[in-house]
Amino acid sequence: MDYTFPLFIINQLKVKVVLAVVAEMAGIIVRNIRVWQSLNHGIRCFSVSSVTASKKVSKNLWKKYGDKRIKDTPITEAGLRPIIEFMSMNFSMQAIDQVVNSAAKSHYMSAGAVHVPIVFRGPNGAAVGVGAQHSQCYAAWYGQCPGLKNKKLYCNHPKVVFLENELMYGVTMELSDEALSDEFLLPIGKAKIERPGKHITVVAHSLPVGFCLEAAKELQSIGVECEVINMRSEAFNYLDAPVFRVTGADVPMPYAKTLEENAVPQVHNIIETIKRTLNIQSAQSVRA
C-alpha cells in the first residue's frame, strides 16, 4: 500500500490514525508546491529521511518526494555560527524572546555547557520617512540585556547585536593602513578621539558622531575647543562631571520630514547643550 498517496483510505471503513496523518500531509504536499516538511516534536525532526521519521509518522514521504520537500534536520546542533540579518532592527521585536531569553542567557543558564555564537545585525534608528514603527533605536534596549555584552565579533562564543545606521550606508570613509590589515580588530575599551579639544568632551556613536564634529567646527569660531569621542564601550568610571544628554523627543517618530528632523538630535541641539554646559551665552566667546 502506498502510504504517501492521500486518498489511500478511500473505501476503507477503518484506518489507523498515523496513516490518516500521513495521508493528509502527503495531500498537502501534493496540492501546494511551497509546502515542505521538517519535523521535531511538531516542529523539527533529525530523522525524516534516514530513520523514516520520529514515530514513523512520516514514513515513506522522503522516498516519494525527496530532499526538496522533506528536509532532514537536527533536533539541536551546535557548531554553526549564524549571522542573522533583520531588514530593520524594529522587526527584531518579533524575535525578542529568542534574542534576550535564549541567545543571551543559554550559556549562563547551562553553566557554560551550551554555546550560542550568533550575531544579530541590521539597520537601526531613524532613517527618512519610514514612520514611527521603523525608526526606533535599540542601542539602549539591547545594551542593558545581560549576555549580549560581548564586544568582539570573533571572540570564542559571541552573542552580538550589531546596530547599523541606514543613513550611513552610502557614506564614504577613508580607511587607515591599520584597518586594511587582515588581522585588524576594532580595539574595544580604547577611545577613538575623532577631534581633540580642551573645553568639553562630546561623546556619540554612529550617525551623530558626524553631527558632533560639525557642531565642534562651528563652536571653534567662538573659541570653544570640543573633544569629540566616537564611543566604543561604556566609560562611566572615567567621568569628571555628570553627563548632559542630547536625545530625541519623547514622541513616536513622525512621518513628515520637518517633524522628523525635530524629533531627532540635530547640530543646533548639540551646540545649545554644549553652550549650556559651559555656561556660555549666545553672543559670548571663549578665549583660548
User: pLDDT of 219-257, one tens digit each?
Assistant: 999 999 999 999 877 777 777 777 888 988 887 788 888
Q: Beta strands of the chain (E only): which ranges?
A: 83-85, 118-123, 159-164, 192-195, 200-204, 226-230
Q: Give me the residue spans of the domains in the chain.
A: 1-77, 83-168, 192-277
Q: Average pLDDT in the 71-87 region?
A: 72
Strands (E), 149-225: 159-164, 192-195, 200-204
What class, spelled out in words, does domain 192-277 have in CATH? alpha beta
How many residues comprise the chain?
288
| pTM summary value | 0.63
pLDDT at 5: 46
* Residues 216 and 202: beta-carbon distance below 8 Å: yes
Count other Cβ atoms within 10 Å, centred on residue 69.
16
Domains 1-77 and 192-277 share a fold: yes
Tell me the CATH class for 1-77.
alpha beta
Q: How far apart, in whole angstroms, are the C-alpha atoms of residue 272 and residue 282?
A: 9
**Domain 83-168: which CATH class?**
alpha beta
* Separation between Cα atoms, residue 60 and residue 34, nearest integer Å: 19
> Looking at residue 193, what is its pLDDT?
92
pLDDT digits (tens, 9 = 90+) for 161-204: 888 888 888 888 787 888 778 787 777 677 789 999 999 999 99
99, 120 contact by CB (below 8 A): yes
Residue 146 has pLDDT above 90, yes or no: no
pLDDT for residue 37: 67
- How far apart (Å, rounded) are the C-alpha atoms in residues 125 and 90? 8
- How many other CB atoms are there within 10 angstroms of residue 76's CB atom? 8
Nearest to 44 by CA among 79, 70, 64: 70
